[in-house]
Chain A
Amino acid sequence: MLPRILRRLGQGLFVLLLVTVFTFVLVHLAPGGPSSVMRLGSTAAERAALRHQLGLDKPLPVQYLIWIGGVLHGNFGASLTGGEPVGPLIAQRLWNTVKLGVSVFAMILVFGTLFGVLAALRRNSWLDFLVNLASTLGMSIPDFWLGIMSILLFAVELHWFPASSTIDTSSTGVFQLVPYLVLPVGVLTFAVIPNIVRYARAAMLEAMSADYVRTARSKGLRQSTIVLKHAFKNALISVVSMLGLLLPVLLSGAVITESVFGWPGIGRLAVEAAMNRNYPVIMGVTVVAGAIVILTNIVVDTLYILIDPRIAHG
C-alpha cells in the first residue's frame, strides 16, 4: 500500500512540474502583459524601467528557472500589483475557498446521495421526476446568472441575506459567517449537485438490478438490509470516485461564484490575476490548484482500495 502511494505521489509531482512549464509558457505567450506595465498613460521609458525591475526583460527560460528556484525554497514571488508575497496571499484566499468548498461538499455529499438513492428506489415516481427536473435545471442554468438572480431576490428584495460576502472570514465567527455563506453555497451546490444526484441514481439502479441483490432478495433478506448493506455500499464506490472528479468542477465553479458574490477566495484571485496578467499569482494559483487535484485523486484511489479491496489486486 505505502509504496503504491509513494509511487503515485512521485508521478503527481512530475505532472505538477509539467503543468507549471505549460502554464508558464502559455501565460507569457498570451497577448497582453502585466497591467502594471501595460497601462493606459504609461510611456515607453516607464514600461522599460518596470520590465527591468520586475525581471520581465530576461529570457523566458531564465525567468522560469528563477521562479521554480524560488518555489523550491518556498518563495512564490511577489504579486505584480502591489508587490505583496504571493504565498501568504494564496494561503489566505485558499482558506476562504476551503470554507466555501467544505460547506458545498457536505451539502452535495449528503443531499446528492440522498436524492439520487431515493430517486432510484422510487423510479418513475413524482419524486424521481422532481429530482430529475431540479438536476436538469441545475445543469443548464449558468451559475453567474443564478447568482445575480438570487442576490436580487434574497438580498435586494427580501433583505434575508447580505448581497456580498466581502468579509474577513478569519475574524468572523462560524455563526456570523453563516448568513454570508448561504447564497454562494446554495448557488454552487445547486450547480454541482446534479452530477452527484444523477450518478448516485444510476449507480443505485445498477446495483439494485445486480445479481447479488437478486440473490439477497431470494435469500429473503429485508428490503432495508438489501438497500443499505448490499446495493448502497456498492453504489457508494462510484459516488466516492465521482466526488474526487468533482473537485475540479467545484474549483472552477468557485471562480464564478466567488466573483459574483465577492467571496474573497482563490477563484476570485485567479480571475483577477488572469485579467491583470499577474504572472506570479497565476503561477501560484496553478500550482496550488494542480496540487489539490492531484492529491485528491491519490486520496480517492486509496479510498477505493479501502472500500473495495479487490481493486488493489486488479
Chain B
Amino acid sequence: MRTLLYRLLAAGAVLLALGATAAQAQNYDPNAVINMATNADPTFNPWYPGVGIESDLINSVIFEGLTRWDGNALPSPALATKWSVSPDGLTWTFDLRPNVKWQDGKPFTADDVAYTFNDIVLNNKLGANLANIYTPVDHVEVVNPLEVKFILKSPFSSLPSYLAYYEGILPKHIFQGVANPFKLPSFNKAHPIGTGPFMVQSYVSGAYVRLVRNPDYWGGTPKLAGMVFKIVPEPDAQVAQVLSGGLDLIRVDNPALLSRLQNAPGLSLDQQSENVYFFVILHQTDPRFQDVRVRQALLYAIDRNAIIKSVLKGYGEVATGPIAPVQKAYYDPTVKQYPYDPAEAKKLLAEAGWTPGPDGTLQKDGKPFEITIDEGQFGQLVPIALLVQQYWQDIGVKVKMNIMDWNSYLTKTYVKRDYQATVCWWRTPTTPDVSPYYLSSAAASGNNWPGYKDPHLDQLLETELAATSQEAKVAATKAVEQYVAQQLPYLYLYYPKTVVVRKSNLKGLLAINLPAAFQHTVDWYVSK
C-alpha cells in the first residue's frame, strides 16, 4: 500500500515536472520576429573582399563555420563535431556533422569544406576576405564525406579558433561552374544558401534584410520565427529607434550615446568585450622609435585612465597587450605595466639622449623631438589622438596633428605606411595567436602595422604556433605577452567595452559578446 502511494506520488511528481517543462517551453512566443540594425548594405558571403561590420553578424546567422565560440570564447563544435592535430602539428583532422542540410535541401558534405578553402580562401587571385589568416594552410583534403584534413605548410595551433571567426562554409553546388564566386550577385546580394538557423527571405538595398527560421536546422527549430536587420547608417538614429520601439537589439560603440538609454524602461544594457585593443603605433622605420626607452617613455607619458574616464565615459580598461581579458585562458595580467608617470618618461628619454633645449622642447644632437600624428575620422579616434598629443607635449615633445577622412587615412597610413605615429585598433579573432600582427615577415605588407622586426619575438610566436597541447599553448602565449609588454611594438591604450542594448524580453543570448551570441541564435527567444 505504502509502495503504491509512493509510486503514485512519484508518478505525480514526474507529471508535474513534465508539465513544468512543457510550460517553460511554451513560455516564449514562437511567432516572434525581432528587429535589429546594421549600418550599411550587407553582402551575404563571409569571404567577399571588404565585408565587415555591416555583414559579419548577418552572415554568422546564415552561414556556419566548422567551429563556433562557446561562452568562454573557446572553439566548440559547429559543422565539425571533433578535431585533432597530428604530433608534428602539420595535419588537422575534422569530423563533420552528419545529416546537415543546406537551406535549399541539398546535403552538406566534406566537398563543401574543401571547395570553400581550396577554391576560394586559398585562391590567391580572388583576394578573399581574411584569407591571409590561412597562409599556413596548404590545402584541404577530403577523406570521406564526413571527414576533412587541413594539410599545413607550417604549424598552426590556433586553426580551430580561427575557423570560428566569420569563416562560414559555402555550398559547392551553387558555385559549380561559376568562374568568380564574387561575381554572383544572385547569391552574394540576394539569395544566399547557408546551413545556419535563419535564411534570407528578402533583401531590399538601403532598407532591410528579412530572415526566417530554417525549419530543417540541425540544431533544432529556432525559437524565433525570424529576424529583420534594418539598414540604419547613423548610430544616433539607431538609438532613437531602440527608444521608440523600432529595434529590439543594438550595439552601442559610442559611450556618449548611452545616457539616454540607461534608464529607459523595458531595455537591458549588457556590457561585453571582444578581443579588441586600441593602440598608438610609432613607425619602426624611424630610428628614433627603434629605441625601446623612447617607446616606453611615450607610453608612461599617457594617462590612459584619464582617457578612459573622459572619452570612453568609463567603458574600457587599460590595455596591457594584444590578448584581451575576454580570453580568460590566455590573458596574463602580470606583465610589465606603465602607469601614468611623466617623470619616469622624461628620465627614460634623457637616458636615450633626449634632453630639454632652451625652449623646453626635447632635443638630441641639436634636433628637436617632433612627431606628426596622422589620424582618421572614425569613432573616438580623433579625440583620443588629441589627448595623446597633449600628453606628449607635456613632456616636451612637439606634436603636430594631421586629421583626414577614414578612407584617405587608411590608404596613407596603412596601405602606403606613410606615417610617424597614429592611433588605431585591432579587432582580432579570439585566438591566442597574434603572429599576423607581430611577425617580422608581416612588417612591410601585412598586418604588422608598426613594422616591428624582432627575431626573438618571431621565435616566441613560432613556438606558440607549433604548440600541440593546451598547456604548451598557454605557456607560449604568456611568454609572448610578457615580451611585447616589455618591448612595446605597439603602445597599448585600452580594451573597450561594448554595450549591447536589448529589449528586456529578448533572452537566450550568450553573455560573452555579440559575435558568439550570433553563432547561437537558435537559442534566442522572446519571453511571453
In the complex, whether B189 has a CB less than 8 A from a CB of chain A is: yes
- Contact A164/B127 with A46-B49, A83-B189, A269-B206 known, Cβ cut-off 8 Å: no
- Shortest Cβ distance from residue B474 to the other chain A in the assembled complex, whole angstroms: 26
Using A53-B126, A264-B207 as known contacts, say yes or no to A38 and B411 having CB atoms under 8 A apart. yes
B219: chain A residues within 8 A (beta carbon): none
- Report if A164-B246 is in contact (Cβ < 8 Å); known contacts: A39-B410, A262-B231, A262-B237: yes
Q: How many residues of A contact B (CB 8 A)?
A: 60
Q: Given A38-B415, A168-B208, A264-B231, are A45 and B237 neighbors across the interface (CB < 8 Å)?
A: no
CA distance A159 to B243 in the complex (A): 10
Q: Given A38-B407, A93-B206, A168-B207, do A45 and B50 touch, yes or no (CB 8 Å)? A: no
Q: Which of A49, A152, A259, A275 contacts B126 (CB 8 A)?
A: A49
C-alpha gap A31/B183 in the complex (Å): 27
A167 to B245, CA, bound (A): 16
Residue of B nearest to A51 (CB): B127
| B45–chain A nearest beta-carbon distance, Å | 9
Q: Which of these, A50, A89, A152, contacts B240 with CB under 8 Å? A: A152
Taking chain B's interface residues, is the majority helix, strand, or loop, or is none over half, making it mixed? loop
Inter-chain contact A32/B405, CB cutoff 8 Å: yes
Interface residues on B, range: 35 or more
In residues 85-102 of chain A, which contact B (Cβ within 8 Å)? 85, 89, 92-93, 96
B-chain residues with CB within 8 Å of residue A36 when the two chains form the complex: 49-50
A47 at the interface (CB under 8 A from B): yes
Instruction: Give Cα A45–Cα B134 distance, bound, in whole angstroms.
Output: 13
A277 to B183, CA, bound (A): 19
Question: Cβ of A156 < 8 Å from any Cβ of B?
Answer: yes
- Contacting pair B408 A32 (CB below 8 A): yes
A198 at the interface (CB under 8 A from B): no
Interface assignment of B513: CB less than 8 Å from any CB of chain A: no
Interface string of B225-265 (1 = CB under 8 A from A): 00000111110110011011110000000000000000000
Bitwise interface map of B from 151 to 190 toward A, beta carbon under 8 Å scored 1, else 0: 0000000000000000000000000000010111100110
Contact of A81 among B43, B125, B233, B246 (CB under 8 A): B43
Interface residues of A in 160-194 (CB under 8 A from B): 162-164, 166-170
CB distance from B510 to the nearest CB of A (A): 25
Asked whether any CB of chain B lies closer than 8 Å to the CB of A155, the reply is yes
- Report if B333 contacts A (CB, 8 A): no
Asked if A141 is at the interface (CB within 8 A of a chain B CB), the reply is no
Q: Which residue of B lies closest to A155 (CB)?
A: B244
Q: What is the minimal beta-carbon distance from B35 to any residue of chain A, in angstroms? A: 10
Q: Tell me the nearest residue of chain B to A161, going by C-beta.
A: B244
Cα distance A160–B132 in the bound complex, in angstroms: 50
B26 at the interface (CB under 8 A from A): no
Task: Say whether, besides A164-B240, A164-B246, A50 and B233 are in contact (CB < 8 Å).
Answer: no
Q: A85 to nearest B CB, angstroms?
A: 7
Q: Is the CB of B127 within 8 A of A31?
A: no
A47 CA to B232 CA in the complex, in Å?
29
- A30 contacts across to B, CB distance below 8 A: 408
Does B124 have its Cβ within 8 Å of any Cβ on chain A?
yes
Point out the residues of chain B lying under 8 angstroms from A72, CB to CB: none
Verify if A78 is at the interface (C-beta below 8 Å from B). yes
Q: Does B350 sit at the interface, judged by CB under 8 A?
A: no
Q: Does A40 contact B (CB under 8 A)?
A: yes
Interchain CB contact under 8 A, B415 and A31 = no
Closest to B185 in A: A84
Candidate in A46, A82, A83, A84 with the most chain B CB atoms within 10 angstroms: A82
Q: Which of B41-64 contact A (CB under 8 A)?
A: 41, 43, 48-50, 52
B:438-481 near A, CB below 8 Å: 442, 444-447
A151–B243 CA distance with the chains assembled, in angstroms? 11
Given A46-B127, A53-B127, A159-B244, decide whether A264 and B446 contact each other with a Cβ distance below 8 A: no
A26 contacts the other chain (Cβ, under 8 Å)? no
9 further contact pairs, Cβ within 8 A, besides A31-B407, A41-B132, A83-B182: A31-B411, A37-B50, A47-B415, A85-B185, A92-B206, A159-B244, A163-B243, A259-B233, A275-B405
A-side interface residues toward B, CB under 8 Å?
30-50, 52-53, 78, 80-85, 89, 92-93, 96, 148, 151-152, 155-156, 159, 162-164, 166-170, 259-262, 264-265, 268-269, 272, 275-277
26 CB contacts below 8 A, A to B, read: A39-B50, A39-B52, A41-B132, A44-B445, A44-B446, A46-B49, A46-B128, A46-B132, A49-B125, A49-B127, A52-B125, A81-B41, A83-B43, A83-B183, A83-B188, A84-B185, A84-B188, A84-B189, A93-B206, A159-B245, A163-B241, A164-B232, A166-B208, A166-B230, A168-B207, A260-B234
